[in-house]
Amino acid sequence: MSEYKESFDFIDLRSQLRRIRKKINQRIDNVLNHGSYIMGPEVKDFESQLEKYLSVKHAVTCGNGTDALTISLMALGIKKDDIVIVPSFTYIATAETVSQLGAKPFFVDINRQTFNMDVKSISRSIEHLKSVKKDVKALICVDLFGQQCDQKEIEAICKKHNIKMIVDAAQSFGATFNDNPNGHYGDLTTTSFFPAKPLGCYGDGGAIFTNNKDLYEKINSIRLHGKGSHKYEHINIGVNSRLDTIQAAILLEKLAIFDEEIKQRNVIAERYTEKLKDYFACPHVKSGHKSVWAQYTIKSTHRDKLKEKLAEKNIPSVVYYPIPLHQQSIYISKECDPAGLKESEEVSNLVLSLPMHPYMSFEDQDIICEELIKAFNCI
């Protein structure tokens, strides 16, 4: 039995800060000294580093991951009453951004093993909409919990039906499929630098990636009030969504150690699976995929009781997501896969995310697993 500990971190940002604090402080001091707090040199430097990291032609930072989705939809010309396919088992931002533009989210189901959008549900929904003379304008492919969707297959479907594709990589920045990072499929890829994300800042931030020059120029314009050739010429209806220079400076240092952290996240995830696989339905990573493990999420019919037992031992756990979007009061009358969303509905009652970060000690992880198994055996 491992030694008992008073409290545990769900995500440990303090240990990471201790590791790079001197470099972070120097970066912030540099910004304070030059005084370019908005769109300063660190922002462009960070965008360049993102382009290199993902091997994409263009990276545009913005204020947050939700804005990244909104700006992307605007750049693709999504407007009132357009239909946009989205998963139901995800965070509200995915559908919310569609609704804010007056467009209509159409909900599809997930793959029970990966939690990501189900290709069959997508195809079935598109054929259903065609049968009732409705066209799908776009699809937002959400990479949930750190693993990429079946982006290659989804892109083929989108191209077949002339549907624009956005990859929402808010939880999967750094993940790969056959060694290819995000940005290789779809028209646009977005991400979030919210502090809890695998690559997070100390405030809020987001980014959009594309290999299309025309889309890049439109995105760059929209994020700056629809700017044209200079600050006071406006050629698009835009928004005000910029990454603060200080946040870019912080992210530059975090990006420098990111691959090491991804490697350790995978070590932690593998240990969880080895210890818990005989008791719970553990996450499944598909062949050829590498996850960044934004969350380590198990499934159990005793989810609520397990969560309660862990809390008694000061071990945090989180339910992502307890209510699918199509069952939320604001969307309950909206359209969805004609076969229903059985997996989304069932999984929402089973999922429980455990502490996950690259600075977790094996000793702490052993205690978490021991208490979880003990709770399971007592139910």
Contact, 76 vs 187, CB < 8 A? yes
Range of the domain at 358: 258-378
310 shares its domain with 204 = no
Task: Give the strand pairing for 176-177 and 104-108.
Answer: unpaired
Spatial separation of the C-alpha atoms in residues 271 and 90, rounded to whole Å: 26
Q: Can you tell me the mean pLDDT for 155-166?
A: 98
Q: How confident is the model at residue 1 (pLDDT cuts 50, 70, 90)?
A: very low
Q: Can you tell me the mean pLDDT for 349-354?
A: 98
What does the pLDDT read at residue 379? Answer: 85
Its pTM stands at 0.96
Exposed / middle / buried, residue 217 (Cβ in 10 Å: 0-12, 13-18, 19+): middle
Distances (CA, A) of 178 to 39, 87, 99, 210, 290: 35, 24, 34, 19, 8
133 shares its domain with 265 = no
Residue-averaged pLDDT of the chain: 97
Query: Look-up: residue for tokens 């990573």?
Result: 285
Q: Which residues pair with 165 in a beta bridge?
A: 139
Comparing 242 with 6, the larger pLDDT belongs to 242
- Domain CATH for 355: 3.90.1150.10
Residue 142 lies in a domain: yes
What does the pLDDT read at residue 3? Answer: 54
Residue 360 backbone dihedrals phi, psi, to 5 degrees? -70, 130
What does the pLDDT read at residue 7? Answer: 83
Residue 10 lies in a domain: no
Q: What is the DSSP string of 279-294?
A: TSB-----TTEE---S
Residue 165 backbone dihedrals phi, psi, to 5 degrees? -125, 125
Instruction: Give the end of a domain, one of 221, 256, 291.
Output: 256
- Domain CATH for 140: 3.40.640.10
Number of domains in the chain: 2
180 shares its domain with 318 = no
Residue 8 lies in a domain: no
178 shares its domain with 279 = no
Residue range 260-298, pLDDT digits in tens:
999 999 999 999 999 999 999 999 999 999 999 999 999
Residue 54 lies in a domain: yes
- Is residue 19's pLDDT more than 90? yes
- Is residue 333's pLDDT more than 80? no
Q: Would the CA dihedral through 134, 182, 173, 42 be positive or negative?
A: negative
Percent of the chain surpassing pLDDT 90: 97
42 shares its domain with 175 = yes
Instruction: Give the end of a domain, one of 203, 229, 256.
Output: 256
Residue range 59-73, pLDDT digits in tens:
999 999 999 999 999
Residue range 170-227, pLDDT digits in tens:
999 999 999 999 999 999 999 999 999 999 999 999 999 999 999 999 999 999 999 9
Give 276-285 contacts, CB < 8 A, sequence gap 24+.
Answer: 276/369, 276/372, 276/373, 279/372, 279/373, 279/376, 280/372, 280/376, 281/350, 283/114, 283/115, 283/145, 283/147, 284/113, 284/114, 285/114, 285/147
What does the pLDDT read at residue 334? Answer: 79
90 shares its domain with 234 = yes
DSSP structural state of residue 313: T
- Is residue 5's pLDDT more than 80? no
175 shares its domain with 269 = no
251 shares its domain with 290 = no
Residue 38 lies in a domain: yes
Residue 4 lies in a domain: no
What does the pLDDT read at residue 202? Answer: 97
Instruction: Give the end of a domain, one of 241, 256, 271.
Output: 256
What does the pLDDT read at residue 80? Answer: 97
248 shares its domain with 284 = no
223 shares its domain with 127 = yes
